[in-house]
Structures are given as structure tokens and as C-alpha cells.
Amino acid sequence: MNDNAATPKQEHEPGTHPNWPAPILTSGPIAWMRDNLFSSPFNVILTLLALWVLWIIIPPIINWVFIEAIWSATDRKDCWAQMSEPEAGACWAFIQSRLSLFIYGFYPEAERWRVNLCFVMLILFLLPILWDKCPGRKYLLWYCIAFPFIAGWLLIGGFGLTPVPTNEFGGIMLTFIIGVTGIFFSLPIGVALALGRISNMPALSTICVIFIEFIRGVPLIALLFVASTMLNYFLPPGTTFDLLMRVLIMVTLFSAAYIAEVVRGGLQAMPRGQYEAADALGLTYWQSARLIILPQALKISIPGIVNTFIGLYKDTTLVIIIGMLDPLGIGRAALADAEWAGLAREVYLFIAVFFFLCCFGMSRYSLYLEKKLHTGH
Amino acid sequence: MKFKPTLILSAATLALGITSGAQAGTLEDVQKRGSLNCVVSTGVPGFAYTDESGEWHGFDVDFCRATAAAVLGDAKKIKAVTSTGKTRFTLLNSAEGDVLWRNTTITFSRDVGVKLRFHGVNYYDGQGFLVSKDLGVNSAKELDGASVCIQTGTTTELNLADYFFANGMKYEAVPIETNDEGRQNYLAGRCDVYTTDASGLAATRSTFTDPANHIILPEIISKEPLGPATRHGDDQWSDIVTWVYYATVTAEEKGVTQANVDEMKSSKDPEILRLLGVEGNQGEELGLPADWAYQIIKQVGNYGEIFDRNIGPNTPIGLERGLNALWTEGGLQYSPPFR
Ligand SMILES: N[C@@H](CCC(=O)N[C@@H](CS)C(=O)NCC(=O)O)C(=O)O
């Protein structure tokens, strides 16, 4: 549409032409649609097809999730009785009645404030880490290092609180514990392993290679199984080494091995000149690692690292194999309650949304971080 | 390499630090811990499930509670360790659980090969088939070519293969891990047939929107005597679990119920008096308080009460006593005498 045929008469003196908006057909939503949705007959067909599919799918979903949904009921029958026909809508009343179970697992009711406190502390922990303009960030970072330990003590019952055995942990809280601990500890361990692997001390690098390859060669589920059952055969009889602790160690080591490989990729992707420049400046190994190598290598590795974290986070559901009840396990046990049974869709959707929000959040943040740190070479 | 050694070190100290070194019997362990760890299923309606407040309930769970009542004097002090068909014995053998109450069939290989101790049959079951009425099938013999949802690591998996082979039929197995998964797959049409213990089928069917549209076929293709299990090597603990179960059966036979157990303490029947610890020293011989069985009945109830409360005709599961009636009423539940 650039071809405005022959301009008729000159309406404005040269230099006095007002700034008109671009023609409606070349800018704004219509132009966008023309360019992106209806640019060729084939695209027109695809667009219409897609619209039709959405039209078929979306209204029933919205209807089920929101419009026909029931938010309070005493049991499944009551829930269904309130709908136009059974199962016409979601029975969120079920989730609501189990919400505390989904969040706290079997944590004693009187002590749940400790979990809530930990959730608040978790936000305080994430703030300075994720937001680099956070006021008082320098001091808060010290808090961040201490956080996992404080939270652990609080949950288990240090500080003279009533002890709560870890086998009463469950639900979302358990997912967070495993996820945060795994992420928190596996990054430094992974970086250390990566540095170790490319180090020119043969003994060190061999150990790191063996460790990394061993862990990467075994599925997490096998490691968890070892953690829960085999370890008891190796340790002296009668030993009770907290199961959650064992799981945390296994999960951390597992994701550390993956992080190590991701970071090694970053280290190797850096131009040799950077290493040489660091040496030429006379920096010691640790100085060059801290000031030159790692900042750049980690930046390159962000997508891979976050990818590993997301994987780790989702893998936390595997703990059900060893009898720990993450939200999925809680859901299963709740679904067997004859009063409510049959509402599997609600339960699984709820859990899916929870995991989606967490993982989507992580991946968005990683995109933001990449953009922010992108300085180009 | 700053972090790794510290982590491993702290792990090691933790491991050693918490080591008690005591190879105490299970009973002492449980009493010291103050709670009983029971291996149960991940969730089967009527057998093991959680309510709103996170309390576990169900037929299996009630027997776990009965054990806790006997051992700790408090039926509430239990911890459920959930397990799939495949992980249950490992969890028991690795001492994550003290006793297994999880619709588990007693078989030769489990008793001998897996090195378990079984302690009587608290539910006589058999494997059945659940199909939708729309399939138009009235007998298991007509199932040639069907796809069958089957839980891995169970006896039912093997029975199914045997049955179809013996009848010259083919099937497509759809392996599943948990009962809930089986239910979902079956309802989604992923398999034509769901097979497991008939009790499990009835329990599962009770959760459908339209239970009337599904039938359990008349053929029961196996014997599934379900019962509790413990590890080898702790005879005292085995005796306790055995007699916890028998105490519930004897109580029903003698008419001792949750409601009348206090009156029964002054009964004229010497066996009731021995059972309730009024006479004799059976509790002491088991290493338990004299009123161990009284606590079971008082806090949990006798066999019939446990059955009726969780899976009986008046529950959504709606199972008849059938084989599980007392021997005096034509069933198989039979306890040796408390003498
Ligand atoms: N009795 C059989 C089968 C027992 C079994 O696993 N049944 C299923 C279906 S009722 C079950 O209990 N599943 C429990 C779960 O999904 O956790 C056995 O011992 O192998």
C-alpha cells in the first residue's frame, strides 16, 4: 500500500504538511493481523482453523473451570448436586477442603506458623537474589546464605521449639524444601565440579569426571531408591539417618552434576583470550575465576542452569517412590477418600497449575536475566 | 572445591552422629520412637486414605492403628509410609516401615524369597475383572484381545498372564503404578478392563460417577489372601502383629465391641478375661502392657467393627462379609484360642 497512485493536487505548502498518523491499514492491529494472520490464502485457512479449534476448546474449559465450578460443598455428591449435571463443572470445594494438607502435608496444626514463617522468609530470601536493586542487598545476601539453615532449624524444631519429625513434612512445603535446597546447594557444588573438571590437576579433574559421569549415568529415581533403601544396608544396623536428609543430599548431588556440565559448557564457550588476558594481568587462579572467568561463563550458562533447576523442581515429585508425600502423593491419598473420590481432574489440574506457575516463573526470570546481562562480545 | 568436602563431611557426621548403634528389636524401636510406621498403599478407597485433617483411615490403616494401640497404648500414634506395589517390600525390608498393612497377598515367593513373615489373613480376596457394561461382556472368557490395566509388581499381574494363557486368549497389558492411575486409565478408555483384587475393584468402582454402568465379572481367577507382613528375624514383633489381628477376630467372636468392652472386663468367660488382660499374663509374655488387647478393642474395635466401618455394606464400598465372615457364620475368619 505504499503506492499512492499519482498524488493529486498539492494541498499543503512544502514544509507545512502536518504529521498525520500512518494510514490505518499499514499500522495498528489491522495491519498486524494482515501481516501475521492473513498474509496468504494458506495462512488465512490456518488462522481460521486455529480460531475454530480455540472456539471449540476454550468455552467448555472456561465453563468447567469457572462458570459451573462449585467452591464450597460437604462432599462429592453435594458438589455434583449443585451443578446442572454431575461433573459439569469443577468441584474446587474438594481442593479447598484439602488445601492445608496440600500446603503443609502432615505438619502438626499447632506448629504451622513455623511453615508460614518460612514461606515469608523464603520471599525475603528470593528478593535480594532476584532483584539487584533491592535496598540493603549487601546485608541481605548474608541472610540469604543463612536462610536454608535457619529455615531447616525452624521446621525441624531447633531454637527450643517442639521437634517435628521430617516424615510429617509433605505437600507444597516438601516440594519447596527439596527444590530450594537442591537449587541452593547444587549451584556452588556444580560450579566447583566444573572448575575441577577443567582444572589441570589430573587427580582433581579425574575425581570430578568420575563423580559427574557416575551421577549422570544413573537416573534420579535410582539414586532416590538408593537413598531410601540401600543406604540402610550399608550403614551400621540400627542407624537412623533422616530420610529427608538423604533425599536432599541425593537431589543436590544429582543436579550438581548436571550444573557442572552446563557450566563447563559455558567455560569452554569463552574465548581463550579471556583466560590468557587474566593470566597476563597476573591474577591468581581464584582471582581470575572470580573476576573474569566465572561471571562470563555463568552468564552464558544461564539458560542451561535454569533448565536444570526446572528439571530438578519437577523431579521432586519422584519422592513418592520412597513413600514421601509431595502434592501428588497427598492428592492420591486424598482421592481415595470415598466422600470425595472421583475428582481426579481437579486435583491434577491444581497440581499442574502449581508446578506450571513455579516453572514458568523460573523460566521468565531467566529470560529477563539473560537480556539484562547481555552485553555482547 | 569449597563446598563439596564440607557437605560430605557434614553428611558423614550427621550419619554417624545419629547412629545409635542399637540393634534393638522392632518393639523397642517403636516404643522409643513413640510412633508406629506402617507401610500402606498410596490410596485405595476404604483401605487407606486421608481425610480433610490429614488423618489416615481405612481397613488397612485401622489394623495399623490397632497395632499402635497395642504397642503404644494410643491408636493415633501411627505414621503411614505409602508404597506402590513394587516398593512395598523394599520399604519394609529397609526398615522404613515396622509392619506392612497394605492389601498384600501372601504367596510362597514373598514369604520365602522376599524373606517376609506373614501373620494370618485379615481379608480373603480374589482377583476379578471390572468392565464397562458398554463392552457387552458377561464373562471373563469373552475377554480375548482386550486391553487390561494391571498394576505392576502385584500378584494380579502374574495371575492375569496365567489365566489368559490357560484359556488360550490374548490381551494387551497396560501397566500402571497405583490404583488411582488404574482408575484414570480405565475411565479414560485406555484399557477395556481393570483387574485387581475384587475388593479393590469394588472400592474403585464406588468412586465412579456412574457405578451402575460397570460390572465386576463373575469369574474370580485367583486366591488373594491379604495379610500383614513383617521382616524376618524379629520373632517377638511377629508374634505381636499376629496376635493383634487375632485379638480383633476373637473379640468379634466373643461379642466384645468398642461399646461394651468395659463391661466385658467383668465377664464370666475366662477367655474374654484373658484377652482383656484381667486374668493371666499374656500381655507381659508379648512384651506389652496387660491391657494391650483392651486398648485395641476400645480404641479401634473388633474385626467386624473395623470391616463394617470401612468397607462394609453400609459404606460406599459396600462389600459383603462373604468369606470374611467368622467361621461360626460360614466364613473363614478364625482365630486360635487365647489360652
Ligand atoms: N493383592 C495383590 C495386589 C494388591 C494391590 O496392589 N492392589 C492395588 C489395587 S486395589 C492396590 O492396592 N494399589 C494401591 C496403590 O495404588 O497404592 C498383591 O498383593 O500383589
- pLDDT tops 80 at residue B3: no
CB contact under 8 A, A333 and B82: yes
> Is B234 close to ligand 1, i.e. is its CB under 6 Å away?
no
State percent of chain A over pLDDT 70.
94
> Is B156 close to ligand 1, i.e. is its CB under 6 Å away?
yes
pTM, two decimals, is 0.86
Query: What is the pLDDT at residue A238?
Result: 60
B102 and B11 within one domain? yes
Query: What is the pLDDT at residue A236?
Result: 67
B225 CA distance to ligand 1 middle (Å): 12
CB contact under 8 A, B47 and A336: yes
Q: Which of A35-39, A367-371, B35-39, B231-235 is predicted least confidently? A: A35-39
Q: Distances from the Cα of B235 to the Cαs of A76, A106, B23, B241, B334, in angstroms?
A: 45, 32, 14, 10, 22
**B112 has a chain A CB within 8 A of its CB:** no
> Among B172, B205, B222, where does a domain finish?
B222
Query: What is the pLDDT at residue B11?
Result: 44
B211 and B230 within one domain? no
Q: What is the pLDDT of residues A65-94, one digit of tens each?
A: 999 999 999 988 899 889 888 888 999 999
Query: What is the pLDDT at residue B15?
Result: 41
B175 and B205 within one domain? yes
B243 and B100 within one domain? yes
B109 and B54 within one domain? yes
| Average pLDDT over every residue of A11-23 | 80
Q: What is the pLDDT of residues A200-241, one digit of tens each?
A: 899 999 999 999 999 999 999 999 888 877 776 676 666 667
B161 and B180 within one domain? yes
Residue B133: Cβ within 10 Å count: 12
CATH of the domain at B142: 3.40.190.10
Q: What is the pLDDT of residues B66-118, one digit of tens each?
A: 999 999 999 999 999 999 888 899 889 888 899 999 999 999 999 999 999 99
- pLDDT tops 50 at residue B259: yes
Query: What is the pLDDT at residue B245?
Result: 97
- If one counts the domains in chain B, the total is 2
> Among B195, B222, B249, where does a domain finish?
B222
Q: Which of A12-21, A148-157, B2-11, B73-82 is predicted least confidently? A: B2-11
B107 CA distance to ligand 1 middle (Å): 14
CB contact under 8 A, A320 and B23: no
> Among B222, B249, B278, where does a domain finish?
B222
CA of B224, closest atom in ligand 1: 1
Q: List CB contacts (< 8 A) between A333 and chain B.
A: 42-43, 48-50, 56, 80, 82
Residue with the bigger pLDDT between A64 and A38: it is A64
Q: What is the pLDDT of residues B266-286, one digit of tens each?
A: 999 999 999 999 999 999 999
- pLDDT tops 80 at residue A359: yes
Question: Is the distance from CB of B33 to CB of B56 less than 8 angstroms?
Answer: no
Q: Which of A321, A328, A346, A351 to mutate to test the interface with B (most CBs of B within 10 A)?
A: A321
B304 and B236 within one domain? yes
- pLDDT tops 70 at residue A5: no
B158 and B68 within one domain? no
Q: What is the pLDDT of residues A95-128, one digit of tens each?
A: 999 999 999 999 999 999 999 999 999 999 988 8
**B93 has a chain A CB within 8 A of its CB:** yes
Tell the burial category of B165 from Cβ atoms under 10 Å away from its Cβ (0-12, 13-18, 19+): exposed
> Is B44 close to ligand 1, i.e. is its CB under 6 Å away?
yes
Residue with cell 563446598: B3
Name the pLDDT band for B8 (thresholds 50, 70, 90). Answer: very low
A232 CA distance to ligand 1 middle (Å): 25
> Is B282 close to ligand 1, i.e. is its CB under 6 Å away?
no
- pLDDT tops 70 at residue A157: yes
Residue window 186-245, chain A: list those with CB within 8 Å of chain B. Answer: 188-189, 192-193, 195-196, 204, 225, 228-230, 232-233, 235-243, 245
> Is B197 close to ligand 1, i.e. is its CB under 6 Å away?
yes
CA B205 to chain A, closest CA, distance in angstroms equals 10
B241 and B108 within one domain? yes
Query: What is the pLDDT at residue A85?
Result: 85
Closest residue of chain B to A249, computed from CA coordinates: B11
What range defines the domain where residue B214 resides?
A: 127-222
What span, in angstroms and rounded, lies between the C-alpha atoms of A117 and A131?
A: 21
Closest residue of chain B to A106, computed from CA coordinates: B54
B331 and B230 within one domain? yes
Of A228, A252, A342, the CB nearest to B96: A228
Query: What is the pLDDT at residue B9?
Result: 38
B35 and B171 within one domain? no
CA A35 to chain B, closest CA, distance in angstroms equals 41
State percent of chain A over pLDDT 90.
55
CB contact under 8 A, A225 and B90: yes
CB contact under 8 A, A338 and B46: yes
CA of B180, closest atom in ligand 1: 16
B191 and B96 within one domain? no
Note the residue count of chain B. Answer: 339
Residue with the bigger pLDDT between B19 and B95: it is B95
Of A204, A232, A338, the CB nearest to B317: A338
A343 CA distance to ligand 1 middle (Å): 21
Name the pLDDT band for A12 (thresholds 50, 70, 90). Answer: confident
